[in-house]
Structure 1
Amino acid sequence: NRITEYNKESKTVSWFYNDHKDEKRHDVTDNVIDFITRLIIHIPDYHFLTTRYYGFYANASKKTLDKVHVLLGIKKNKDYSRETRTKALKTKLNKLKYRTHLIDSFNRDPIQCKCKAT
């Protein structure tokens, strides 16, 4: 989405990036081969594990993130507190138990059942 123009005749690609040091937009025009070379650098090697979430976004730092939201006065879109997640997990497990009991009642051996076998 940062590519602004591609010229087939001159084989050039125009694109931009925002420099985080000075917060300015830089427009760049590169040869197609140079552009692909720069782009390939960002593709990780096969079987290379990348860290998806780190810092405040890591699962281990939810309490810290909650404190940051409170200090900054930011309202969260969703409640990610441990209590809410535990309650949701218990509800999910109770549904699983109900289903398991229901299935077990139909698969029960007639010898173990106290009702009369025909």
Structure 2
Amino acid sequence: MQVGLPWLKIESQNKESNTISWFYNDHKDEKRHDVTDNVIDFINRLIIHIPDYHFLTTQYYGFYANASKKILDKVHALLGIKKNKDYSRENRTKALKNKLNKLKYRTHLIDSFNLRSNSM
């Protein structure tokens, strides 16, 4: 059974010898590297990939950043790629208004049937 992160696959664990066999695919040479480590060494290698508390990572950058939606639309138009969703400001505003209206309707129903808990 293979378990793990996208870049790391654990193949087996030997509880008697306290070892873990795992592999990863190196993107530089596109080769599979098989590794057998002591459990403590494996955990030490794994922990260095966990970001610090409150550490912010950049999820989207370049064409996929929110600030460059207009440029991305032009790139899609030039390449003839059809977008799955329309992320225009008008559609986002409509979706937000619909969401707020649903919340208002739900709140109205709760108030009209007096379903709010009146704790003392």
TM-score by length of 2: 0.63
Aligned-partner Cα distance in 2 for 1:44–1:81: 33
Q: Structure 1 residues 9 and 70 mapped into 2: Cα distance closer, same or farther (>3 Å)?
A: farther
Quote the residue 1:68 is aligned against. 75
Shift of 1:54: 2.0
> What is the alpha-carbon root mean square deviation over aligned residues?
2.8
- Runs (5+) with no aligned partner, structure 1: 103-118
Whichever of the two has the greater Rg, that structure is 1
User: What amino acid is the match of 1:30?
Assistant: D
Correspondence for 1:41 = 48
Instruction: Report the identity percentage.
Output: 82
The superposition leaves residues 29-50 of structure 1 with CA deviations (integer Å, 9 ceiling, x where unpaired) of 1111111011000111122222
For the residues of structure 1 that align with 2:12 and 2:91, how far apart are their CA atoms? 48
Aligned to 1:17: 24
Aligned pairs, how many? 100
> Are 1:59 and 2:66 matched, yes or no?
yes
Match of 1:50 in 2: 57
Residue 80 of structure 2 corresponds to residue 80 of structure 1: no
Compare 63-72 and 5-14 and name the one that shifted more.
Answer: 63-72
What corresponds to 2:34 in structure 1? 27
